[in-house]
A and B are shown apart, each in its own frame.
Chain A
């Protein structure tokens, strides 16, 4: 193949740009799209990329490092501290039990114990990249199952370090640690020649350095850089920070991903958190995409076709065993059925560290190529299957929990027919619901946060768990007899989906929908929703009124002004909806926003009557009286 960098970049980007939107359209998630793109351009189909795949993968693994930095930024230290039990307990047990089971199986199949242990430890790991990306994309990271999955992944990241240290000992020769490894995960240690106590000290020193450095040096440094007002310089600083930490951690033999995660946590409270996040995000996304493509391209279809049964058997066995252990552990840690299923469906693949560990094990002479090659193929396939498993979980498994819970309490459906359905009980929906409850209006709530559902059920509310855009769930929640559907979901997409479902299956429902901005408010109005509430309007107007007051307006004048403005604003929106042609749909969201804002400002200018209340304004009366009295104006 043409080896030029630009050509390579073109192939990778083209594959991603074509495959990912298709996969997203089909509801499969971006990860599967990248993986399929990798398969297509890989050596076994189009052959655009070939041997360099593995190098690309090592390079792209830096995306994982960046991802953990971003994850760390979103995780405040207090939250991390609360996760200590799942990290050590659930994560520790998962690695231990899975390693032992696979090692036992390996020995049962006649492997030497050293080989079996190496394989067992390797297979116990899961893919941080695929799992976090997939969960984040589905908005599941903040659920209890998502947090547990994250805790397990975090422990695995830590566990890699002792594993790498253990492999040389498992080697028949049991000789020196490998110095010839360059994947950046470990082992390129500058401190390998130091005595053990000094190594330990260096590791502790490095971690302490990150914490102290992050707390006392990075903030003032970032503040100084921010003051230059050069955006790209801030990006450069963010990259410098991540790469520097990765290098430092590699130097002392720790996982760079772990180091940047730690740095992220340290900076989670800082005022630059969001800037750092948005600067690193595109790099992270691209590198991860590249990484997934490389995984797809590295699937050895030659080997797969040569030994289809062996590979398929391996994949099924690995996934089934890991699934069973994960599910069992999650249940024993008191996770509910649905959240346990989420953990088990998320983590049963083998992670990207396996590629590193297997090649490391081969170099160390622990394992032979005859053994690792089928395993590497199985690992890649198990990763490729993860997004599919999550789709299965989402479409076929999770729905059962919602309806089953409802069936378990059939009395609900009989004893009261609530006229109002509230979908989404976050802060918005909860405020609506509480107001209604305070005024004795009975409501039925649908939510997908199982913790919240449990709590609300305990408090005696009628709550259904599940994805409300499924019409059967709406039906079991009593949509046939309800009058009003309150949609308080947290994204415009989910809202629109539900609107379509409700209009199709329950046309008698009056829909009250929460909207986010002009754009989706207009979309909702166009979709035929009469009651659309932009979530920030009232708050913004109240704030504006108080600013007016501070600027010297009388309180009631400011209040009247906001009332008039709200009326005018609503009217403008409906006019805009009527005038907007379909071409606007092709404008990007950002362009549409600007175009809308322009229309709005023009409308504000045209409607000079915004300050009316002429009845309280004696000007015209005074003029008339003075004229009659023959006075000049």
Chain B
């Protein structure tokens, strides 16, 4: 069973429609840890030692966040700056995160069709989040394709319910389905959503 850490970063959860529903759907599972960064560090004063211990004690890291200006919220950047220390996460002796799997769970306002080379945004979401991808690579982690909820502005109540259920299934799948969850099979898909649909159709409704 994979020990899963959900690192959550949302500066205004009270204004959020989608992420709030996703959080409500979080399953209570042994070995699944939910960690709300903005709740823990409202003044951006991150307890580095605590965060490092948390990373060390989990196998799969899920970073859940809304997309703002094609990037992550600022506290997540601060967290990367301070927690991923040289000599611990990277560098000659930086081995602490080696082999851990990591993927983003990103909520995006625009529709999926715009995040293509031909579309309005001119790049894929994975392109936009390349700095994160490369960071995890420098930390010797396995970067998996992101789980993306596109078009959040257009989601109606039924969509929200469906997204929440799907998110719960994802977490259960990651937590249970394969022991440990082997991400390498997902690598050939553009998003975790597609990977899940192809690899584990039985968990999808």
Q: Which residues of A are in contact with B by a Cβ distance under 8 Å?
A: 560, 563-564, 567, 612-616, 618, 620-621, 624
Contact = CB atoms under 8 A, between A and B. Distances in A.
A620 B86 CA distance: 7
B91 A560 contact: no
A621 B82 contact: no
B202 interface: no
A564 B81 contact: no
Contacts of B203: none
In order of increasing CB-CB distance, the 5 nearest A-B pairs are A563-B45, A615-B82, A621-B86, A615-B81, A620-B86
Contact of B87 (A560, A612, A616, A620): A620
Given A615-B81, A621-B86, 14 more contacts: A563-B43, A563-B45, A567-B45, A612-B48, A614-B82, A614-B85, A614-B86, A615-B48, A615-B85, A618-B86, A620-B86, A621-B91, A624-B86, A624-B91
Range, interface on chain B: 10 to 19
A615 B82 CA distance: 4
B61 interface: no
Contacts of B84: 615
Given A563-B43, A563-B45, A624-B91, A616 B86 contact: no
Contacts of B45: 560, 563-564, 567
Nearest to A556: B44
B92 interface: yes
Contacts of A614: 48, 82, 85-86
A615 to B, nearest CB: 4
Contacts of A621: 86, 91
B166 interface: no
Interface in B25-51: 43, 45, 47-48
Contact of A613 (B43, B82, B86, B92): B82
A624 B43 contact: no
Nearest to B48: A612
B83 interface: yes
Nearest to A628: B92
Contacts of B86: 614-615, 618, 620-621, 624
Contacts of B48: 612, 614-615
A616 B81 contact: yes
Interface string B97-127: 0000000000000000000000000000000
Contacts of B92: 624
B22 to A, nearest CB: 26
A564 B49 CA distance: 13
Contacts of A613: 82
Nearest to B92: A624
Nearest to B81: A615
Contacts of B87: 620, 624
A90 to B, nearest CB: 53
23 contacts: A560-B45, A563-B43, A564-B45, A567-B47, A612-B48, A613-B82, A614-B48, A614-B82, A614-B85, A614-B86, A615-B48, A615-B81, A615-B82, A615-B83, A615-B85, A615-B86, A616-B81, A616-B82, A618-B86, A620-B86, A621-B86, A621-B91, A624-B91
A618 B81 CA distance: 11
Nearest to B83: A615
A399 to B, nearest CB: 41
A169 to B, nearest CB: 77
A615 B89 CA distance: 10
Contacts of B47: 567
Interface centre among B45, B48, B87, B92 (most CB of A within 10 A): B45
Interface string B62-96: 00000000000000000001111111000110000
Given A560-B45, A563-B45, A612-B48, A620 B82 contact: no
A626 to B, nearest CB: 12
B79 to A, nearest CB: 9
Contacts of A567: 45, 47
A362 B82 CA distance: 88
Nearest to A562: B45
Contacts of A564: 45
A365 B167 CA distance: 103
Contacts of A615: 48, 81-86
Nearest to A615: B82
A615 B43 CA distance: 17
B154 to A, nearest CB: 31
B132 to A, nearest CB: 16
Contact of B91 (A563, A612, A620): A620
B138 to A, nearest CB: 11
B95 to A, nearest CB: 14
Nearest to A563: B45
A564 B45 CA distance: 8
A618 B43 CA distance: 24
A358 to B, nearest CB: 70
Nearest to B45: A563
A612 B45 CA distance: 11
A621 B48 CA distance: 18
A23 B86 CA distance: 66
B25 to A, nearest CB: 27
Contacts of B91: 620-621, 624
A620 B87 CA distance: 8
A425 B90 CA distance: 53
Contacts of A560: 45
A620 B81 CA distance: 15
Interface string B133-171: 000000000000000000000000000000000000000
A614 B82 CA distance: 7
Contacts of A618: 86
A277 B128 CA distance: 70
A407 B146 CA distance: 61
A490 to B, nearest CB: 28
Contacts of A563: 43, 45
Nearest to A566: B45
A544 to B, nearest CB: 16
A604 to B, nearest CB: 18
A624 B87 CA distance: 9
Contacts of B81: 615-616
Interface centre among A564, A612, A615, A618 (most CB of B within 10 A): A615
A615 B83 CA distance: 7
Interface centre among B47, B82, B84, B85 (most CB of A within 10 A): B85
A563 B47 CA distance: 11
A213 B139 CA distance: 79
A564 B82 CA distance: 14
A616 B79 CA distance: 11
Nearest to A621: B86
A538 to B, nearest CB: 12
A624 to B, nearest CB: 6
Nearest to A612: B48
A618 B91 CA distance: 12
A515 B101 CA distance: 46
